[in-house]
Amino acid sequence: MVTLPSVPESLSREIEATQMPQPMQALAGQKGCPVAAIRERLRAAGLRPTRQRMILGWLLFAGGDRHITAETLFGEVNRVRGHLSLATVYNTLNQFRDSGLIRQVPTGGTRAVYDTNTGDHHHYLVESDGTIMDLPDDAVSLAVRPQAPEGYRVVGVDVVVRLEKIAPQG
Protein backbone atom coordinates (compact mmCIF):
# COMPACT_ATOMS: atom_id res chain seq x y z
CA MET A 1 0.00 0.00 0.00
CA VAL A 2 1.26 3.46 -0.86
CA THR A 3 2.12 5.67 2.09
CA LEU A 4 0.44 9.00 1.68
CA PRO A 5 1.33 12.23 3.42
CA SER A 6 -1.40 14.13 5.18
CA VAL A 7 -3.74 16.58 3.54
CA PRO A 8 -2.81 20.07 4.73
CA GLU A 9 -5.09 21.73 7.27
CA SER A 10 -6.18 24.32 4.78
CA LEU A 11 -6.87 23.20 1.27
CA SER A 12 -6.98 26.72 -0.09
CA ARG A 13 -3.60 26.48 -1.80
CA GLU A 14 -4.43 23.09 -3.29
CA ILE A 15 -7.77 24.40 -4.44
CA GLU A 16 -6.01 27.22 -6.24
CA ALA A 17 -3.37 24.93 -7.69
CA THR A 18 -3.81 23.64 -11.19
CA GLN A 19 -2.89 20.02 -10.48
CA MET A 20 -3.84 17.56 -7.80
CA PRO A 21 -1.09 16.88 -5.28
CA GLN A 22 0.88 13.74 -6.10
CA PRO A 23 -0.45 11.71 -3.15
CA MET A 24 -4.00 12.14 -4.36
CA GLN A 25 -2.94 11.05 -7.84
CA ALA A 26 -1.28 7.98 -6.40
CA LEU A 27 -4.41 7.12 -4.49
CA ALA A 28 -6.62 7.67 -7.47
CA GLY A 29 -4.30 5.35 -9.35
CA GLN A 30 -4.50 7.16 -12.64
CA LYS A 31 -3.90 10.47 -14.30
CA GLY A 32 -4.67 13.33 -11.95
CA CYS A 33 -7.64 15.54 -12.45
CA PRO A 34 -7.01 19.24 -12.00
CA VAL A 35 -8.35 20.56 -8.71
CA ALA A 36 -10.00 23.36 -10.63
CA ALA A 37 -12.04 20.79 -12.55
CA ILE A 38 -13.31 19.23 -9.30
CA ARG A 39 -14.24 22.67 -8.00
CA GLU A 40 -16.06 23.51 -11.22
CA ARG A 41 -17.86 20.20 -11.12
CA LEU A 42 -19.11 20.95 -7.60
CA ARG A 43 -20.18 24.44 -8.52
CA ALA A 44 -21.95 23.27 -11.67
CA ALA A 45 -23.94 20.90 -9.45
CA GLY A 46 -24.88 23.80 -7.18
CA LEU A 47 -22.54 22.79 -4.34
CA ARG A 48 -20.10 25.13 -2.64
CA PRO A 49 -16.56 23.64 -2.87
CA THR A 50 -16.01 23.16 0.85
CA ARG A 51 -12.97 21.33 2.20
CA GLN A 52 -14.79 18.04 2.76
CA ARG A 53 -16.45 18.15 -0.64
CA MET A 54 -13.12 18.87 -2.34
CA ILE A 55 -11.41 15.96 -0.58
CA LEU A 56 -14.21 13.53 -1.40
CA GLY A 57 -14.47 14.94 -4.92
CA TRP A 58 -10.77 14.24 -5.42
CA LEU A 59 -11.05 10.70 -4.15
CA LEU A 60 -14.16 9.99 -6.18
CA PHE A 61 -13.50 11.62 -9.51
CA ALA A 62 -9.75 11.77 -10.06
CA GLY A 63 -9.23 8.17 -11.06
CA GLY A 64 -12.00 7.50 -13.54
CA ASP A 65 -15.30 5.76 -12.96
CA ARG A 66 -15.75 3.75 -9.80
CA HIS A 67 -18.29 1.96 -7.67
CA ILE A 68 -17.72 2.63 -4.01
CA THR A 69 -19.36 2.36 -0.59
CA ALA A 70 -19.19 5.06 2.08
CA GLU A 71 -17.06 2.70 4.19
CA THR A 72 -14.47 2.21 1.44
CA LEU A 73 -14.33 5.93 0.74
CA PHE A 74 -13.95 6.59 4.47
CA GLY A 75 -10.94 4.24 4.46
CA GLU A 76 -9.39 6.27 1.65
CA VAL A 77 -10.03 9.50 3.55
CA ASN A 78 -8.12 8.03 6.48
CA ARG A 79 -5.26 6.94 4.23
CA VAL A 80 -4.75 10.51 3.03
CA ARG A 81 -5.44 11.82 6.56
CA GLY A 82 -8.37 13.83 5.39
CA HIS A 83 -9.84 13.99 8.91
CA LEU A 84 -13.48 13.51 8.01
CA SER A 85 -15.95 11.48 10.05
CA LEU A 86 -17.86 8.57 8.54
CA ALA A 87 -21.03 10.61 9.06
CA THR A 88 -19.59 13.44 6.97
CA VAL A 89 -18.65 10.96 4.25
CA TYR A 90 -22.22 9.59 4.27
CA ASN A 91 -23.79 13.05 4.22
CA THR A 92 -21.53 14.33 1.46
CA LEU A 93 -22.11 11.23 -0.68
CA ASN A 94 -25.84 11.76 -0.34
CA GLN A 95 -25.46 15.44 -1.28
CA PHE A 96 -23.43 14.39 -4.32
CA ARG A 97 -26.12 11.86 -5.22
CA ASP A 98 -28.97 14.33 -4.74
CA SER A 99 -27.24 16.89 -6.93
CA GLY A 100 -26.58 14.36 -9.68
CA LEU A 101 -22.77 14.15 -9.36
CA ILE A 102 -22.96 10.44 -8.59
CA ARG A 103 -25.72 7.87 -8.55
CA GLN A 104 -26.65 5.09 -6.21
CA VAL A 105 -26.59 1.54 -7.57
CA PRO A 106 -29.83 -0.27 -6.69
CA THR A 107 -28.16 -3.35 -5.23
CA GLY A 108 -30.90 -4.03 -2.72
CA GLY A 109 -28.17 -4.66 -0.15
CA THR A 110 -27.87 -3.00 3.22
CA ARG A 111 -24.85 -0.95 2.20
CA ALA A 112 -25.36 1.71 -0.44
CA VAL A 113 -23.04 1.52 -3.43
CA TYR A 114 -22.37 4.76 -5.28
CA ASP A 115 -21.33 5.10 -8.91
CA THR A 116 -19.37 8.02 -10.34
CA ASN A 117 -20.58 7.10 -13.83
CA THR A 118 -23.96 8.82 -14.06
CA GLY A 119 -24.48 7.85 -17.71
CA ASP A 120 -27.03 5.21 -18.72
CA HIS A 121 -25.78 1.74 -17.89
CA HIS A 122 -26.72 -1.29 -15.85
CA HIS A 123 -24.85 -3.50 -13.40
CA TYR A 124 -23.76 -7.01 -12.57
CA LEU A 125 -23.83 -7.84 -8.89
CA VAL A 126 -21.78 -10.77 -7.57
CA GLU A 127 -24.03 -11.84 -4.72
CA SER A 128 -21.40 -13.64 -2.65
CA ASP A 129 -19.16 -10.62 -2.15
CA GLY A 130 -21.15 -7.62 -3.35
CA THR A 131 -18.82 -6.85 -6.27
CA ILE A 132 -20.40 -4.47 -8.79
CA MET A 133 -19.46 -4.44 -12.48
CA ASP A 134 -20.78 -2.31 -15.28
CA LEU A 135 -23.11 -3.71 -17.89
CA PRO A 136 -23.42 -1.46 -20.95
CA ASP A 137 -26.80 0.10 -21.58
CA ASP A 138 -27.07 -1.58 -24.98
CA ALA A 139 -26.45 -5.04 -23.48
CA VAL A 140 -29.96 -4.96 -22.03
CA SER A 141 -33.10 -4.52 -24.03
CA LEU A 142 -36.59 -4.24 -22.65
CA ALA A 143 -39.40 -5.36 -24.93
CA VAL A 144 -41.78 -3.05 -23.15
CA ARG A 145 -40.59 0.19 -21.62
CA PRO A 146 -42.48 0.52 -18.34
CA GLN A 147 -44.88 3.44 -18.08
CA ALA A 148 -44.93 5.57 -14.97
CA PRO A 149 -48.02 5.51 -12.75
CA GLU A 150 -50.20 8.59 -12.88
CA GLY A 151 -48.53 11.60 -11.34
CA TYR A 152 -44.99 10.29 -11.95
CA ARG A 153 -42.48 10.19 -14.73
CA VAL A 154 -39.77 7.63 -15.36
CA VAL A 155 -36.30 9.04 -14.67
CA GLY A 156 -34.35 5.85 -15.28
CA VAL A 157 -34.46 2.09 -15.62
CA ASP A 158 -31.73 0.30 -13.66
CA VAL A 159 -31.18 -3.39 -14.30
CA VAL A 160 -29.10 -5.39 -11.81
CA VAL A 161 -28.02 -8.80 -13.12
CA ARG A 162 -27.20 -10.97 -10.11
CA LEU A 163 -24.32 -13.42 -10.49
CA GLU A 164 -22.85 -16.37 -8.68
CA LYS A 165 -19.46 -17.90 -9.43
CA ILE A 166 -19.45 -21.27 -11.16
CA ALA A 167 -16.91 -23.93 -10.23
CA PRO A 168 -13.98 -24.08 -12.67
CA GLN A 169 -14.32 -26.81 -15.32
CA GLY A 170 -12.05 -29.87 -15.28
Task: Return residues touching Zn ion (CB under 5 A).
Answer: 115, 117, 134
Cβ at position 168, least distance to Zn ion in Å: 27
Cβ at position 133, least distance to Zn ion in Å: 8
CB nearest Zn ion: which residue? 115
Give the whole-angstrom CA distance, residue 53 versus residue 152: 32
Cβ at position 142, least distance to Zn ion in Å: 18
Cβ at position 130, least distance to Zn ion in Å: 14
Give the whole-angstrom CA distance, residue 37 versus residue 3: 25
Phi-psi region of 13 (alpha: psi -120 to 50; beta: other; left: phi over 0): alpha
Q: Pick the closer one to Zn ion by CB: 104 or 117.
A: 117
Residues constituting the chain: 170
Phi-psi region of 102 (alpha: psi -120 to 50; beta: other; left: phi over 0): beta
Q: Pick the closer one to Zn ion by CB: 87 or 133.
A: 133
Q: How far is CA 62 from the centre of its chain?
A: 10
Q: Pick the closer one to Zn ion by CB: 11 or 105.
A: 105
Cβ at position 67, least distance to Zn ion in Å: 6
Q: Pick the closer one to Zn ion by CB: 83 or 134.
A: 134
- DSSP codes, 7-49: PPS--HHHHHSSS--HHHHHHH-SS---HHHHHHHHHHTT---
Q: Pick the closer one to Zn ion by CB: 87 or 163.
A: 163
